[in-house]
Amino acid sequence: MKVIILVLVLAAPLCLAQSRRVPPTGPARPNPRISEPSPSPTPPGTTQPPTEEESGVVKVDTQLVTVPVRVIDRKGRFVGGLAQDNFKVYEDGVEQPIAYFSSEQEPFTVALVLDMSYSTKFQISDIQSAAIAFINQLGPNDKVMVVSFDQNVHMLCEATNDRGQIYRAIRSTKIATGTSLYEAVDLVMNERLKRIRGRKAIILFTDGVDTTSTRSNDLRNLDDAMELDALVYPIRYDTFQDVQQMKDKPVIINNPTSRPFPGAGGLPIPVSVPTVATGSSNGTSAEDYRRAEEYLNQLALRTGGRLYLADSFGNLSGAFTKIASELREYYSLGFYPPESDELGKLRKLKVRVDKPDVAVKARDSYVAGKQTNRK
């Protein structure tokens, strides 16, 4: 008996909406829209991410301020081999003693955050291939956590240097409806990276348009970025023209599942079951996209990272390659700021190097920890 399975495939973007929302008030509660990875035994030769007690937390709330610094010459080439004595750090114009220093050889912890909503203009196989190629360019001691988001936020892999586990996490990503960008960024900033010691970066792949976040918003993310001791590298793609053509139109979504079929002896066979979703016209205006671009620009600016544009697979792969190269070209400086009762105040930063004909790339300000509980 022959069984014919009709698989409907529609590779069209679904329009998504962006809105600014006020953070919820009241006691904190678990977020059912954030999925955690299932615990699994640690493979031989790998390590679990350190706990908060084991890692010796480095964050602004404990007063140690860490500043990632990149030094380049007039041709844009990285200047390596510098020591702590080559640097000076100033807060609001006053020199601060450097209490922590690491060279460019120190490993990174990277949070790879992938937008898996229907607004992406890339095929999922292209996203996965570019992400895996990026991982292959990192050092053997660099650790990676993998987070994806649609309407829900999926914690696919905690920080690890086990490449097999990282690859499996990337390949497990799936396209779905909704875009909780702000909640994903909030999770990575406040519940993951703050408890990890050392040099850190967020690689954020998205168009910047949020449609379904309810527990965070863009302003809260940008506020938190001022306290974050990690670089943020957004990779932005523009979906404006695509969503103009697709808004308010039905879209067929293929959800993989398994069903028993008599012709196969009752064994389950993977099939794609189509369901219909309707695109929204919310968040598709030029103003929404302008605000999304500014949001991503500010995340990079406030943390000392850089915004990359990717409107083709070549641009996407190139952006990942450039970021991987830059992550090997950072120094980290740390200092304890003067005691002050003005928590939450914006402090100006300036880093200088005692070498001629070089430029210093570093964040120019930070906010002292506000000591608030925002979980």
Give the list of residues 6+ apart from residue 71 with CB closer than 8 angstroms, or none.
Answer: 78, 79, 82, 331, 353, 355, 358, 359, 360, 361
pTM greater than 0.85 (yes/no): no
pLDDT of residue 21: 34
Give me the pLDDT at residue 239, please: 84
Instruction: Quickly tell me which residue has 């005691």 as its tokens.
Output: 339
What confidence score (pLDDT) does residue 189 get?
A: 96
**pLDDT reported for residue 46:** 42
pLDDT, residue 213, reads 94
Length in residues, the chain: 375
CA triple 225-228-231, angle to 5 deg: 85
Task: Tell the burial category of 151 from Cβ atoms under 10 Å away from its Cβ (0-12, 13-18, 19+).
Answer: middle
pLDDT at 361: 92
Question: What is the predicted pLDDT for the residue at 136?
Answer: 96
Centroid of chain to Cα 161: 17
Report which residue type is found at 199: R
Q: What is the pLDDT of residue 105?
A: 79
pLDDT attached to residue 197: 85
The token pair that represents 355 in the structure block: 């070498």
10, 252 Cβ separation under 8 angstroms? yes
> What are the backbone dihedrals phi and psi of residue 23, each rounded to the nearest 5 degrees, phi first?
-60, 145
Question: CA end-to-end span of the chain, whole Å?
Answer: 56
Domains along the chain? 54-238+285-367 (3.40.50.410), 248-283 (no CATH)
Please give the pLDDT value at position 270.
53
The mean pLDDT values, 10 residues at a time, for the chain of 375 residues are 38 36 40 68 44 36 80 92 95 94 88 90 91 96 97 97 97 93 97 90 96 94 92 92 66 51 54 49 76 96 94 93 93 86 81 94 83 44
Instruction: Look at residues 370, 365, 352, 375 and name the one whose alpha carbon lies nearest to residue 86.
Output: 352
pLDDT of residue 64: 84
